Amino acid sequence: MITPGFSPIRGGTETIVKDLSIELNRIGVNTDVMTFNMDKKWNPKWQGTIQKIDDITVFKIPALNLIPIEHPKRLISEINLIPGRFTHLMKNYDVIHFHEQEFSFPLFSYFKRKPKLFHLHGIDYEYFRRYHLSRCILKNVTDYYVCITKKIEKEVAKLGIEKNRILYLPNSINVDLFQPGKKEDENLILFVGRIAPIKGLHILIKALRYLKSPVNLVIVGPINDFEYYQKIVRYIEKENQRGEHRITYSGCMPPADPSLIRLYQKASIFVLPSFFEGFPVVLLEALACETPVISTPVGGIPEIIHDFKNGFLVPTGNPIKLADTIQYLLENKSLRAKLGQTGREDVEKNYSVSVVTRKLCHIYEQLINK
């Protein structure tokens, strides 16, 4: 598994890579991770190291910034770093599995003749459609493309990549870790995600003004945009001063933190009012804990959330419609329980890490046989 970032960097891709690697090793498919030696993106160190993280061997490769100053995205064509020596390590592996829309590792290992996968956890379709060089690199650095949503699958095909090289594999979670628990706190609303405008947290806080029932909103996530975070703090202070609702920011928690899992279990509703997404794992985590979800129809979310089945979809940027849907669920406890139970069953059947890993092994076999 080759990914730009890994522990201590936290995010959806990093979690997916870790979970897949642990499960592959558990079933006897020897899997290591290669990443850049970074404490945060894109802040590499010119020093390599080998670590054991969650019993996974992790090769942390030294690197330099391609352009260390602020620059337009098209100038670097998704090549952020210049890696140190690493291709000699690839001789020990049968399959090279790249992750994320980032070309540093794939491009600098282009001449290493090994079966390769490019796992797209999201794709900026308009960017690749517009810039020929980046599109050309994308089309030639790998044998197969793994897409986490049907939407990404269609976009990759529209960029000119042959359909027989495109495979669908959704994100997954550990359903033994994320399990239902007692719903002790009535009217607890949970938001988990980066504190950034794209996640729509400000829309959720504005929606509270239109609710009839008092709620306790708990926010969990890393600060991705400090200016936006300061604005959110002002919103929280203002809403708490009104005294009708209570808002708590609980900071950033590791994905498998027992405190986070407990919040998923206790929450009446999980809300993610995003403006853009790939395939958010937090939705699977909430559903696995039998918590119904309210989200927006962006990215791969409509492939996960279905009205009156496991949650509801509301228009992006619409606090009134969001408030109406929250209020409707708060007033229908039996419906919440039904949606949560269906959500758990759906995750167990389609998105558990054991199910998805078996599908991934089949992809590896196809790649090696070809």
Q: How much is the pLDDT for 188?
A: 96
pLDDT per residue over 61-99, tens digit each?
A: 999 998 877 767 777 888 999 999 999 999 999 999 999
Q: Where in the chain is CATH 3.40.50.2000?
A: 12-172+352-369, 188-350
Encode 275-297: b = buried (16+ Cβ within 10 Å), e = exposed: eebbbbbbbbbbbbbbbbbbbbe
Average pLDDT over residues 251-278: 93
CATH architecture of 188-350: 3-Layer(aba) Sandwich (3.40)
Between these two residues, 73 and 39, which has the higher pLDDT value? 39
pLDDT per residue over 211-241, tens digit each?
A: 999 999 999 999 988 999 999 999 999 999 9
CB 166 within 8 A of CB 147: yes
Average pLDDT over residues 180-204: 92
Q: Give the residue among 333, 335, 356, 352 at the shortest CA–CA distance from 344.
A: 352
Rounded to an integer, what distance in angstroms lies between the CA atom of residue 24 and that of residue 97?
A: 13
**Amino acid residing at 230:** Q
Q: 10-14, 27-31, 253-257 — which one is most confidently predicted on average?
A: 27-31
pTM value is 0.88
What are the two backbone dihedrals, phi and then psi, of residue 190, each rounded to the nearest 5 degrees? -120, 135
Could you tell me which CATH class the domain 12-172+352-369 is placed in?
alpha beta
Q: Give the residue among 277, 322, 267 at the shortest CA–CA distance from 297.
A: 277
Count other Cβ atoms within 10 Å, centred on residue 147. 26
